[in-house]
Structure 1
Amino acid sequence: MTYREAIKLGESILQKADITDAKNDAWLLLAMACKIDRTYYYVHMDEELTTEQTREYQSVLKKRAERIPLQYITGEQEFMGLTFHVNNNVLIPRQDTETLVEEALKIIEPGMKVLDMCTGSGCIIISILKNTTDVTGYACDISKHAINVAKENAKINNVFVDFERSDLFEKINDKFDVIVSNPPYIRSEEIPHLMPEVARFEPMEALDGKEDGLDFYRRIVKDSKTHLNDNGILLFEIGYDQGTAVSDMLKYAGYCEVKVIKDLAGNDRVVMGRIEKR
């Protein structure tokens, strides 16, 4: 089988498995399995794969056809122009979450302390630190496996983050100038109906926002004020239909300057509010 034939075979297998971007996934899996880039492919497309390459390519195609996310197979995902290691212990970083980082960067200044709650892969706090100077980064997650992935990503991207395994604020004693969070916010009953890559393979504890999807927002808002400095700011990623509910929570808790920010697709994506000087 030549490289050209391998791409066609992979595309056919993945199309039958209802993979949306079958051709692109087939190429990425071939590149990984054969350790080649596009330049090599175009020069050698009619050359035969080795037995080892064929075996490895068939193996990863089988995984993808089972709807295992491409990023869990390749082991990486790009976010904010940076590369992050991912596995099934963490959510795959998504472009929607870049809106949260971009809004945080607008208000973070040198000398500030920033906490990323429910950090997962660490993509939020690491991206913030890569785009700021003289900012101290902290992050927590209830999953020790997620914390291990986040620590690896901090090393990969050459930033220092103080990580803590904690059930939300349980083991957090400091105060911060900014708290950012992308907590679980999918309604429990909706999870089985998500695409198979998400419902079957991404970590349930990072998806499930309980009955109405708002459980973690309530818990974080309730305790956040005692962990923010004067004029401290809380920023959340939210689901597209949660803007009103989460902004009302912040207002009720005494936050001011509460606002909802849309993502590039025009959906509500971030809610933020400020604690007034006490």
Structure 2
Amino acid sequence: MRLSEIKSSLVAILEQNSDVENAPRELSIIIEDVTGLDKIKQILEPNIDIDDNSLCIIKEKINLRKNHTPLSYIIGKREFYGLNFYVSSDTLIPRPDTETIVEEAINEIKVLKKPKVLDLCTGTGAIGISIKANTNCDITLSDISNKALEVTRKNAEALINNECKIVQSNLFENIDDKFDIIVTNPPYLTAQWYDEVTEEVKHEPKLALVSSGDDGLDLIREIIKSAPKHLKNGGILLIECDYRQTKLCAKLLETANFTNIKIIKDLAQKERVVRGSYYA
């Protein structure tokens, strides 16, 4: 079957999914994933024949997408901070807004000499691996989920040649070191906010999205309480949270005797990251 005919017949199926903003683009990505034909070749060779086996796989992936499975899970990867990360349904999909915490950490590292950095609740490892790939830091990646850490290990091997320490830990439970910087993107959605997210987001692991408490900050409270024991004198804690939580998060840092507190906006100019320093 010709590529042009496939596109004409399948794009309408993708358009049935309200989560798909650009059906032709996503179809092109799926076709490339299955056949190896990149975007340019698809444009230049619309009459190229696609074999029956490839067509069958393309249709299977289109049906998954029609039923709200995230595109990143279907093709098994997601670009983040210029790197291609392997992703699976055991991990949260890295989002552009989270690049804000990476940028802030890199800026802090510029004035430090080979600092030790902890990425707590690492998931795919996107934050910590991106920091390591762009600095000379020593990075530790930690998560409560062993399945998530399997994904972390694949990304660490592919992207930073395993130049990291990986620890399975419920927050700081198995963390012994002290760090110059701790970065964390923990679960912070409230149960109510989770009920309001799209069907696509609900395909991602709930453990990585939802925290307890009416304000979604119970895990962040635990992190702020325990972080001083794991920070060097003058160490920095960077927390990603929802824009509706940033001011309360900053207040929690202040109450815990953190100083130099500031709130950083993401690419959409929404408050996204809260920063604080701790002096013993």
What TM-score do the two structures reach when normalised by structure 2?
0.95
1:210-258 per-residue CA deviation (whole Å, 9 max, x = no partner) reads 2321011100001000110100000001101111110000000000011
- Which residue number corresponds to residue 69 of structure 2? 68
Q: Which amino acid in the other structure matches residue 14 of structure 1?
A: L
- Which residue number corresponds to residue 140 of structure 2? 138
Please report how far the alpha carbon of residue 5 of structure 1 lies from its aligned counterpart in structure 2 after TM superposition: 1.7
Where does 1:24-103 land on structure 2 (aligned, <5 Å)? 24-103=25-104
- Which residue number corresponds to residue 249 of structure 2? 246
SS in 2 for 1:157: helix
- Which residue number corresponds to residue 10 of structure 2? 10
- Which residue number corresponds to residue 23 of structure 1? 24
- Which residue number corresponds to residue 105 of structure 1? 106
Tell me if the contact between 1:7 and 1:30 (Cα under 8 Å) persists in the aligned partners. Answer: no
Consecutive unaligned residues in structure 1, runs of 5 or more: none
Consecutive unaligned residues in structure 2, runs of 5 or more: none
Find out whether 1:170 has 2:173 as its counterpart: yes
Please report how far the alpha carbon of residue 56 of structure 1 lies from its aligned counterpart in structure 2 after TM superposition: 1.0
SS in 2 for 1:196: coil
Q: Which amino acid in the other structure matches residue 183 of structure 2?
A: V
Tell me if the contact between 2:239 and 2:274 (Cα under 8 Å) persists in the aligned partners. Answer: yes
Q: Name the CA distance, whole Å, in 2 between partners of 1:98 and 1:191.
A: 22
Q: Name the CA distance, whole Å, in 2 between partners of 1:151 and 1:136.
A: 16
Find out whether 1:261 has 2:264 as its counterpart: yes
Please report how far the alpha carbon of residue 123 of structure 1 lies from its aligned counterpart in structure 2 after TM superposition: 0.5
SS in 2 for 1:261: strand
1:170-223 per-residue CA deviation (whole Å, 9 max, x = no partner) reads 111111110000000111122122111111x10110000223210111000010
Tell me if the contact between 1:184 and 1:208 (Cα under 8 Å) persists in the aligned partners. Answer: yes
Q: Name the CA distance, whole Å, in 2 between partners of 1:38 and 1:107.
A: 38
Q: Name the CA distance, whole Å, in 1 between partners of 2:192 and 2:114.
A: 43
Match of 1:154 among 133, 153, 156: 156
1:86-107 per-residue CA deviation (whole Å, 9 max, x = no partner) reads 0001000000000000001111
Q: Name the CA distance, whole Å, in 2 between partners of 1:183 and 1:26.
A: 32
SS in 2 for 1:16: coil
Cα distance, 1:257–1:113 mapped onto 2, change above 3 Å: same
Aligned pair count reads: 275
Tell me if the contact between 1:116 and 1:179 (Cα under 8 Å) persists in the aligned partners. Answer: yes
